[in-house]
């Protein structure tokens, strides 16, 4: 297995599963064996939907998920913040599969609320150390050459509540400040070049300050090197316009770097010779170490992974036999190359199968196709990225950073799966 991590389930695994199924026949927990005596009325009786008619087209000109999926929604943890206007909620990652996050359930984080800004009222200014300060309309932006890229956005505070110990019981709450979308937009480089960078002189020590149009004026300083590398001025996500809560009509995309820098409703880009040291890059999004000094400019989101199912909100309900363990992995340093899963709290590890090859700074789905017969599990996953970085344990992180950090907690998570299939967030030795 270990030498072919990206292949499908091995023949040996297939055989063990089949053997287990055979051996399990007659045990009520094995699917199919218990109700074999009575025919299933869902099959033998003509159901309403097989006889009558369903909705016509246009019943819902813009579709929403069917009512049975009504619990796949963003959720908020009320005690975290003073007010929902300056707050955050969480993506239901425990209930999703694949890698793309639908916009409607992708987490939100606002500092002064989500604003309604029309395309016609949208302006983007580039000023500062540029040859010609420019103003673009939304229409102007759509006339530049466009690109498509899929990237994850993770809030630096994702898993931040778990520093001191296991707190929140659900992957949505511990790891749901993340989403992954395909963006369409113009590179930031294209716009900076349109304004001209000769005036900036040597670009090596230059910065770009970006600012949003909402009342929080959320602004961050980005080194020129990153600005010219892969940042995008995005106006579409997953093929459609950005949602209001994600910065409609235009947001900044800063691949692999903390979500706060992905300024929504971006209205201004200023080329500067130093960082502004704004509130969001000094008093927030800095990391206090054990001795009281703090790290700043910790922009990159390090490699991380999480088992999304089974998990506390997605317990095993199907009884014994085949079990799919699945989860997500990502790295701000590039591609995920491998994910290992442990069922015994880190004593032994198996290499999981990647849904498809890891993509640069995007979510990767992993699967461990396995067998479960009611034994207790301490489920963990650890991601490895293309730089060879291995996702650390919480103990390793605490040894370097102490206990007072909030942001950038990329530790290995443990779910305690019990004999009844329920799971709980725990910390283990």
Partner 1 sequence: MSKFLKLTAAALVLATPALAEKHGLGRTAMPEEIAAWDKDVSPDGTGLPVGSGNALDGEEIFADNCAICHGDFAEGVDNWPKLAGGDGTLADEDPLKTVGSYWPYLSTSFDYINRSMPFGSAQTLEPDDVYAIVAYILYSNDLVDEEFELSNETFLDVEMPNAGGFITDDRAETEYSQWRAEPCMENCKESVEITMRASVLDVTPEEEGAEAVVDDVVEEAAAEPAPEPEPVVAALDAELVAQGEKVFKKCKSCHQVGDNAKRKTGPVLNGVFGADIAASEGFKYSKVMAGYGGVWDEATLTTFLTSPRKMMKGTKMSFAGLKKDEDILAMIEYLKSVSQ
Q: Which of 225, 199, 71 is nearest to 128 (CA)?
A: 199
Q: How many CB atoms lie within 10 A of CB 52?
A: 7
**Tokens in use for 30?**
């094995």
**Tokens in use for 317?**
């309900």
> Does 168 interact with partner 1 (rule: CB under 8 A)?
yes
State the binding string over 347-376 for partner 1 (x if CB under 8 A, else -): xxx---------------------------
**Tokens in use for 116?**
């309604």
Q: CB 368 → partner 1: shortest distance, Å? A: 14
Rule CB under 8 A: choose which of 17, 33, 76, 147 binds partner 1. 76
> Does 125 interact with partner 1 (rule: CB under 8 A)?
yes
- Nearer CB in complex with partner 1: 24/173: 173
Q: CB 21 → partner 1: shortest distance, Å? A: 27
Q: CB 48 → partner 1: shortest distance, Å? A: 19
Q: How many CB atoms lie within 10 A of CB 167?
A: 15
> Does 54 interact with partner 1 (rule: CB under 8 A)?
no
- Kindly give, in sequence order, each residue whose CB lies less than 8 Å from that of residue 122, ignoring residues fewer than 6 positions away: 137, 138, 213, 249, 250, 267
> Does 67 interact with partner 1 (rule: CB under 8 A)?
yes
- Nearer CB in complex with partner 1: 48/71: 71
Q: CB 33 → partner 1: shortest distance, Å? A: 31
- Nearer CB in complex with partner 1: 99/391: 391
Instruction: Please choose, out of 15-23, 147-155, 243-251, 286-294, the segment that lies near partner 1 by the rule CB under 8 A.
Output: 286-294
Residue 199 φ then ψ, to 5°:
-65, -20
Q: What is the DSSP letter of 236?
A: E
Rule CB under 8 A: choose which of 85, 98, 201, 357 binds partner 1. 85
- Nearer CB in complex with partner 1: 50/57: 57
**Tokens in use for 398?**
């605490």
Q: Considering only residues 256-285, where is the footprint of partner 1 by CB under 8 A? A: 267-268, 270, 272, 274-279, 282-283
State the binding string over 396-425 for partner 1 (x if CB under 8 A, else -): x---x--xx-----------x-------xx
Q: How many CB atoms lie within 10 A of CB 134?
A: 16
Q: CB 124 → partner 1: shortest distance, Å? A: 8
- What span, in angstroms and rounded, lies between the C-alpha atoms of 305 and 368? 14
Four-residue CA torsion sign, 173, 177, 180, 181: positive
Rule CB under 8 A: choose which of 121, 290, 375, 420 binds partner 1. 290
- What span, in angstroms and rounded, lies between the C-alpha atoms of 264 and 243? 11
3-state SS class at 14:
helix
Q: Considering only residues 178-217, where is the footprint of partner 1 by CB under 8 A? A: 189-190, 192-194, 196-198, 203-205, 209, 211, 215-217
8 Å CB contact between 313 and 172:
yes
- Number of residues binding to partner 1, judged by CB under 8 A: 123
8 Å CB contact between 208 and 200:
no
**369: β partners:** 324
């Amino acid at each position: 297995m270990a030498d072919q991590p990206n292949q499908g389930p091995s023949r040996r695994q297939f055989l063990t599963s089949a053997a287990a199924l055979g051996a399990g026949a007659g045990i009520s927990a094995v699917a199919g064996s218990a109700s074999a005596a009575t025919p299933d009325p869902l099959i033998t009786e003509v159901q309403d939907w097989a006889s009558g008619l369903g909705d016509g087209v246009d019943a819902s000109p813009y579709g929403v998920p069917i009512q049975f999926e009504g619990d796949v929604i963003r959720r908020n943890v009320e005690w975290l913040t003073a007010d929902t206007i300056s707050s955050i909620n969480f993506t239901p990652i425990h209930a999703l599969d694949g890698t793309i996050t639908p916009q409607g359930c992708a987490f939100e984080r606002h500092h002064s609320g989500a604003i309604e800004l029309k395309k016609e009222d949208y302006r983007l200014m580039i000023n500062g150390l540029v040859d010609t300060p420019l103003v673009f309309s939304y229409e102007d932006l759509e006339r530049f050459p466009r690109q498509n890229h899929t990237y994850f956005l993770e809030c630096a505070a994702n898993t931040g509540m778990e520093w001191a110990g296991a707190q929140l019981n659900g992957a949505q709450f511990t790891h749901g400040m993340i989403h992954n979308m395909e963006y369409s937009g113009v590179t930031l480089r294209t716009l900076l070049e349109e304004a001209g960078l000769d005036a900036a002189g040597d670009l090596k020590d230059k910065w770009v300050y970006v600012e949003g149009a909402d009342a929080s004026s959320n602004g961050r300083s980005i080194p020129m090197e990153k600005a010219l590398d892969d940042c995008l001025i995005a106006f579409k996500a997953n093929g459609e316009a950005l949602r209001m809560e994600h910065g409609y009509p235009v947001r900044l995309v800063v691949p692999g770097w903390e979500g706060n820098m992905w300024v929504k409703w971006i209205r201004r880009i200023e080329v500067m010779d130093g960082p502004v040291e704004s509130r969001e890059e000094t008093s927030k999004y800095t990391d206090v170490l054990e001795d009281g000094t703090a790290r700043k400019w910790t922009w990159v989101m390090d490699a991380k992974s999480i088992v999304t199912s089974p998990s506390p909100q997605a317990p095993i309900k199907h009884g014994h036999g085949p079990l799919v363990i699945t989860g997500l992995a990502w790295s701000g340093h590039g591609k995920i190359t491998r994910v290992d899963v442990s069922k015994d709290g880190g004593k032994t590890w198996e290499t999981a199968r990647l849904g498809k090859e890891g993509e640069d700074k995007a979510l990767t789905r992993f699967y461990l196709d396995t067998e479960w017969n009611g034994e207790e599990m301490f489920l963990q996953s650890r991601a490895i990225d293309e730089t060879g970085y291995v996702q650390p344990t919480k103990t390793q992180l605490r040894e370097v950073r102490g206990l007072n950090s909030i942001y950038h907690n990329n530790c290995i998570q443990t779910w305690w799966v019990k004999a009844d299939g329920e799971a709980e967030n725990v910390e283990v030795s």
